[in-house]
Amino acid sequence: MYKQLMKLKKHHRLLYGLIIAVGLMSIWRGTWLLSDVFIFPSNTALSAVTSVLIGIIILSVMHYKLS
């Protein structure tokens, strides 16, 4: 994939990078809003701690899966 990206012209690489950035930010925003609505919506501190713990668990599981 990297070799294919390097074959593109400079302005095409910039456009490609911007499209990926917008996609990632959209996923982040949607995930953030869904967690605000569904994970303890009346208690933001508990929602934040729960989200962090879920994230740590997911990252730990994925680390062991990839190793």
Tell me what pLDDT residue 55 has: 87
Cβ neighbours of 36 (radius 10 Å): 14
Q: Sketch the domain layout of the chain as residue ranges.
A: 2-66
CA distance 52 to 46: 10
pLDDT tens, residue by residue, 29-54: 988 888 888 888 998 889 889 988 99
Query: Tell me, what DSSP letter sits at residue 42?
Result: T
Query: With 90 as the cut, is the pLDDT of residue 57 above it?
Result: yes
pLDDT of residue 8 exceeding 90, the answer is no
In angstroms, rounded to a whole number, what is the distance separating the alpha carbons of residues 50 and 41? 12
> What's the rounded Cα separation, in Å, for the pair 33 and 26?
11
- The stretch 13-38 carries a mean pLDDT of 87
Q: In this structure, are residues 39 and 53 in contact, taking their beta carbons and an 8 Å threshold?
A: no
Total number of residues shown for the chain: 67
